[in-house]
Structure 1
Amino acid sequence: MIDMSPNIVLVVAIGALFITGVYLLLERSLTRVLIGFILIGNGANLLFLVAGGRAGGPPIIGQTPVEDMSDPLPQAMVLTAIVITLALTAFILAMAYRSWQLHGHDEVQDDLEDRRIVRLAAKNAPTYNDTDSIEDSETIDEQAAEARDETGNGVA
């Protein structure tokens, strides 16, 4: 029977790459976000290769016995992940460079909605007014009588 257990060093390396990458993704600097994304991409690539099993011969029928063939799917997924990571790296680099040109730094700032929610949370106020929960003394018939008629025929 073939031993299919992964190397513990590779498992620890995958965990370290993911943990460090997630930590850096939570930062405000686009440079750190970029490094975090690259680390997570490399961790995912290593995870695909470890999950693919042991190395084997080329998966060509007639050249390698079936039990000795390697699985080509993890290799194809790693190549796809490399392309996606490269494209997102270029995009984040462009955003960081533009931010550096405009503001002199690459920190992501809070937008106005974030600031409004923080102020409301500090006052322990609701973020919106719920008009359905307010009790009215009028009935639905009284409200319908006061409603504006937009058809123009004068009948409410």
Structure 2
Amino acid sequence: MLAITVKQFSELNITELYELLRLRSEVFVVEQNCVYQDVDDKDKTALHVLGKKEGKIVAYTRIFRPGDYFKEASIGRVVVAATERKFGFGKEIMIASIKAVENQLSYTTIKISAQCYLQKFYKSLGFESVGEEYLEDGIPHIGMIKN
């Protein structure tokens, strides 16, 4: 079970910011062998969903209001540390993120840009694929929406 908190960028402490950026880099840049600019200035407008186990961030997402990323509210940078994936933390952090969009932003329509191989996972959370596959940073993605 994760200890989950939702924070604005200005509420993150230095350790949390370091840990979430490190986790994103470990997975998206190193593990997925994808060179891209992760620190993109969008973190400043996002809500950050931190999933901690024994005080360390092991799961994370960031949430955007409608118009900040897509015309709908959105969830992105969904990540779980490789050593922690067997515990269901991906589902736990996504459920918390969906609730945060609904409760803190008061929106129920959510759009994501999902890596194609995770479509089944996101469908289990109520998302439906929309549009065609596309490459984002060399990785196949597809748009998905939850109403």
Whichever structure has more strand as a proportion of its residues is: 2
TM-score, normalisation: structure 2 = 0.28
TM-score, normalisation: structure 1 = 0.27
Whichever structure has more helix as a proportion of its residues is: 1
For the pair shown, which has the larger CA radius of gyration, 1 or 2? 1
